[in-house]
Amino acid sequence: MKPFTTFVFLFTLCVAVLPPLIVAHPTNVTKLIRQACAHTAHKALCVDTLAADPISQGAANKTGLALVALRVASQNASDITELIKASVNDPSLAPAVQQGLSDCMDNYVDAAQQLDDSLAALLAGAHDDLSIWVNVAIADSDSCEKSIQGFKTEMSKENVKFRMLCENALAIAKAVAVAGN
Amino acid sequence: MSNQAEEDPMAKPTIAVEDLYNIRDTYFTANLDEKNSKLQKESDLALKLLDSVPPEQRKSPMQRATYEYLRGKILDVFPDYRKEAEDHLSKAVKLNPSLTDAWLCLGNCIWKKGDLSSAKNCFTLALSKGPNKKLLCQLSMLERKMAQGTENEAKLVEESIQHGREAITLDVKDGNSWYNLGNACLTSFFVTGAWDHSKLLQSLKAYQNAEKDERMKSNPDLYFNCATVNKYLENYERALSGFEAAALKDPGLNATDEVQKLVNLLDKLENMLRGHARAKRLASLVSLLDAVNLNSSYKRATIDLLSEGLNKAVAVVGKVLFFIKHESVAPIYYLVCDSNQICFVLSVYGIHNDAIKEGDQLTLLEPCYRYIDFSWKEKHYQFKSIRVDFLEQALVNGKAPAPRHAIRTSIYAQHKP
C-alpha cells in the first residue's frame, strides 16, 4: 500500500470510529437555534451542531448558543489534534507528510487555545477580543492547510469543517454583540 | 517586473527604498557606525536611482508627490532627525494628501524631532482617510511614549492597547502588529504597578503570535521583549534562551548583559538556599510559626503541600531569612523558611522593599507556587518559589501592609519608532 493511501485509510478509520460530532435532530431545533443560525454562512452545519448539543436546548439566549458554538469549535480543534496524533508517527508515511501533519498538530493545539481565549472574551463581554482570537484560530487552520499542500490527505476536509465552525461561532457572537444578548 | 518599471518610472526607486529599509530593520552589528555607513552608502545609491527618473516623468502633482515622498523616506532612514527629510515629506502630503505612507513617514520624522503631538496629528489625520495597520501600530507606540511621566499614564497606555488591537483586527497574521500589542501589554503591566499577572500573559501570547510571522524572525527586539516577559513570569530557561537569541541577532542590544544578570541572580538564589537549608538555627527561627493564627477561610499549608500555580483558599506561614539584592528593579527576592524548615524563594511584585524585612513573619495568602527545575550551560537550577503579586496577598507580622507600600514601577519595553 502506498504511503498516501495508507494515510487516507488510517485517517478514514479514525474518523469512522470517533463518535460523530454532528447528528441532526430536527425535533431538537428550537426557535432560538433557528434565529441564531440565520446569522451564519453555513446554516445547515450550524443547526446540526447546535441541535446535537444538549446545552443548546437549555440556552436562554444567543449568548448561550455562542458559547456552545465556540466550545464545539474548540472541541473540534482538540479532536483534530488527537486524530493527527494517532497517525503522525505512522512509519509508512512519507517524511514530508509526517512533517506537514506535525505542523498541523501544533497549529491545532494553538487553535484550541485561541478558542478557549475567545470563550473567556465572550464571558467578559469583550467582543473585539473574541473576534481577534477566533480569527487567529482560523489563521492557524490556514497555516495547517499550507503545511499539507500538495499531499492528498483527509486533513483538508477537516480544515474546511473547522473553518466553517469558527465562522459560524463568530457570526453568532457578532449577533450577540449587536443585539446585546 | 520590467513591464511595471516601464509603466511606472518610480517602480525601481520604490524597490530600492524597500531594500534600504530592509537593511535598517534586519542588519545589526556591534558597531553602530558600521551600520550607519552601510545605510549612508545604500541611501546615496537610492537617491541616485531616484534622481535618474527623467524630470518629464515627475511633472504631475501625483508623480511629484511620490518623488518627494521617496526622497524624504530615503533621507529619514537614519536614527537621527533630518530637517531635509521632513521638508520633502511635508511637500509630498501637500501634493497628495491621500498618500498614507508619506503621512506615516512624516509622523516618524517629526517624532524624532521630539514634537510628539504633531507626530500624532500626522497619524490620526492619515487614519481619518481609512484604517491602516502600520499607522495604528505607530500611533499605539507613540501613545505609549506620550504617556510616560503623565498623571493618566495607565489610561493612555490603555488607548495604546486599543489601537494595537485595532491593527490586529485588520490582519491577524501580521507579526509586527502582534509585537506592538505585546509591547503595549508589557508597558501596561509596569505602569499599573507591576502586579497584574494577566497582563504579562497577554503580552506573552501576543509575542508568540508575532513569532508565527516569518518576517519577525529577524527582529531582535521581539526576542528581547519576549525574554523580558518570561523573566518576570519566572520562566527562567525561556528567558535565558530568548536573551541569547536576541544577542545573536543584534550584538548591540546588551542582551548578553541580561543573560549574565539572570545567571548571577539564579546562582545567588541557589547558593543562599543551599547555605541555609542546613543551618542549625532554622529550628529556633521557625519554632513559633505553628502558633500563628489564620483566618478561618484559609487552610494552613507548608510549601511541600502546594500545587503548581495558584493555591486558592490556602495560606503559607514563613519566616524571612534574607533580602536578596540583585540588579533588576522588580521583583524583590527574599529567602523564606516555612514551619517544616523548608526554605524557598519569595518573589514580590508591586510592594515596596521596606514593607518586608529580614526577621519578619509572613503569611502568604493564596500563594502562586512554582517548582523551578532546569539546566543552563551545564549548571542545574532547582528550587521552590512563591510569587506575591500585590499587597493583599501578604500579612507581615500578622498585619496587612499599609497602602503606601504599594508601588508603581516604570520600565518600558524596548521598541524603536
pLDDT band of residue B291 (cuts 50, 70, 90) is low
Please tell me the predicted confidence (pLDDT) of residue B65. Answer: 97
In a domain, B74, yes or no: yes
Omega within 30 of 0 (cis) for the link into B331? yes
The SS3 call for residue B148 is: coil
Q: Are B169 and A131 within 8 A, CB to CB?
A: yes
Residue A14: what pLDDT?
44
Range of the domain at B332: 278-405
What's residue A13's pLDDT? 38
* pLDDT-derived band at A131, boundaries 50, 70, 90: very high
In a domain, A110, yes or no: yes
Predicted local confidence at residue B9, as pLDDT: 85
What is the tally of structural domains in chain B?
2
C-alpha–C-alpha distance, residues B253 and B247, integer Å: 6
Which of B172, B185, B205, B209 to mutate to test binding with chain A, by most A CBs within 10 Å of its CB? B172
The answer to whether the Cβ–Cβ distance between A136 and B172 falls below 8 Å is yes
Chain A residues touching residue B173 (CB < 8 angstroms)? 139
User: Roughly what angle, to the nearest 10 degrees, separates helices A95-124 and A3-17?
Assistant: 30
Give the up-direction half-sphere exposure of residue B116: CA atoms within 13 A in the CB hemisphere.
11
Number of independent structural domains in chain A: 1
Phi first, then psi: what are they for B347, rounded to 5°? -110, 130
Which residues in chain A are contacts of B171 at CB distance < 8 A?
A: none
State the average pLDDT for chain A. Answer: 81
pLDDT at res. A67? 86
Do the Cβ atoms of A131 and B173 come within 8 Å?
no
Which of these three, B161, B195, B214, is where a domain ends? B214
Return the pLDDT at B288. 60
Same domain, B13 and B137: yes
Helix pair angle (A127-147, A155-179), 10° resolution: 170
Q: Does A103 touch chain B (CB under 8 A)?
A: no
Q: Helix or strand or coil: residue B316?
A: strand
Instruction: Report d(CA B42, CA B21) in Å as an integer.
Output: 10
Q: Is residue A134 within 8 Å of residue A156, measured between CB atoms?
A: no
Average pLDDT taken over every residue of chain B = 87
Give tens-digit pLDDT for B231-270.
889 899 989 999 999 999 898 887 999 998 999 999 989 8
| Percent over 90 (pLDDT), chain A | 43
Q: Would you state the pLDDT for residue B385? A: 94
Do the strands B299-301 and B309-310 form a parallel or antiparallel pair, or are they unpaired?
A: unpaired
The CATH number of the domain where B282 resides is what?
2.40.50.550
Q: Is residue B237 part of a domain?
A: no
What integer pLDDT is reported at residue B3 of this predicted model? 52
Q: Looking at residue A153, what DSSP letter applies? A: -
B292 and B146 part of one domain: no
| pLDDT confidence tier of residue B412, bands split at 50, 70 and 90 | very low
The DSSP annotation for B259-297 comes to HHHHHHHHHHHHHHHHHHHT-TTHHHHHTTGGG----TT
Chain A: give the shortest CA distance to residue B212, in Å: 9
pLDDT value at position B403?
84
Q: Are B169 and A132 an interchain contact pair (Cβ–Cβ within 8 Å)?
A: yes
Q: What is the pLDDT of residues B100-157, one digit of tens each?
A: 989 999 999 999 999 999 999 999 989 998 999 999 999 999 999 999 898 788 989 9
User: Does B243 fall in a domain?
Assistant: no
A9 falls within a domain:
no
Instruction: Read off the pLDDT of each residue in B382-409 and give the average, rounded to a whole number.
Output: 81
Q: What pLDDT is stored for residue B282 in this prediction? A: 61
CATH number for the domain spanning A156: value is 1.20.140.40
Above 70 in pLDDT, residue B31?
yes
| Residues B129 and B202 placed together within one structural domain of the fold | yes
Contact A126/B at CB under 8 A: no
Summarised one tens digit per residue, pLDDT across range B310-319 is 898 999 989 8
The answer as to whether B250 is a domain residue is no
Mean pLDDT over residues B337-349, rounded?
Answer: 88
Q: Which of B165, B198, B214 corresponds to the end of one domain? A: B214
A135 interface with B at CB cutoff 8 Å: yes
User: Residue B303: inside a domain, yes or no?
Assistant: yes
Closest of A33, A38, A37 to residue A54, by C-alpha: A33
B87 pLDDT higher than 60: yes
pLDDT of A19 > 50? The answer is no
Residue A15 has a pLDDT of 40
Q: Is B366 left (phi over 0), alpha (psi -120 to 50) or beta?
A: left
Is residue B272 in a domain? no
Does A117 map to a domain? yes
C-alpha cell at B289: 510559626
User: Is 80 exceeded by the pLDDT of residue B331?
Assistant: yes
- As a whole number of Å, the end-to-end CA separation of chain B is 31
Per-residue pLDDT reduced to its tens digit, A102-118? 999 999 999 998 999 99
Statement to judge: residues B189 and B287 lie in one domain: no
Are B212 and A135 in contact (CB < 8 Å)? Answer: no
User: Which among B185, B214, B243 is the end of a domain?
Assistant: B214
Question: Does A127 contact B at CB distance below 8 Å?
Answer: no
pLDDT in tens, A74-101: 999 999 998 898 888 788 888 898 889 9
Q: Which of A106, A108, A128, A143 to mutate to test the interface with B (most CBs of B within 10 A)?
A: A128
Give pLDDT, residue B50.
96
Looking at residue B20, which CATH number applies to its domain? 1.25.40.10
Beta-strand relationship, B361-365 and B309-310: unpaired
- Specify whether the CB–CB gap between B250 and B278 falls below 8 A: no
Closest alpha carbon within chain B to A114: B205
The model's pLDDT over A59-73, given as tens digits with 9 standing for 90+, comes to 778 889 998 999 799
Tell me whether residue A1 is in a domain.
no
Residue B30 has φ and ψ, to the nearest 5°, of -70, -30
Which residues does chain A have within 8 Å of residue B172's beta carbon, measured at their own beta carbons? 132, 135-136, 138-139
Q: What percent of chain B has pLDDT over 90?
A: 52
Does B165 contact A117 at a Cβ distance shorter than 8 Å? no
Average pLDDT over residues A3-20: 42
Interface test with B, best of A135, A138, A142, A166 (most B CBs within 10 A): A135
Domain that holds residue A167: 29-179
pLDDT at B33 over 70: yes
User: Chain B: which residues have CB within 8 Å of chain A?
Assistant: 165, 168-169, 172-173, 205, 209, 212
Q: At what angle do helices A155-179 and A43-51 cross, to 10 degrees?
A: 80
Q: What is the pLDDT of residues B194-220, one digit of tens each?
A: 778 788 998 998 999 999 998 898 899
Report yes or no on B248 lying in a domain. no
Cα(B346)–Cα(B340) distance, integer angstroms:
16
Q: Is the pLDDT of residue B55 over 50?
A: yes
Q: Which of A117, A128, A135 sits opposite B172 (nearest CB)?
A: A135
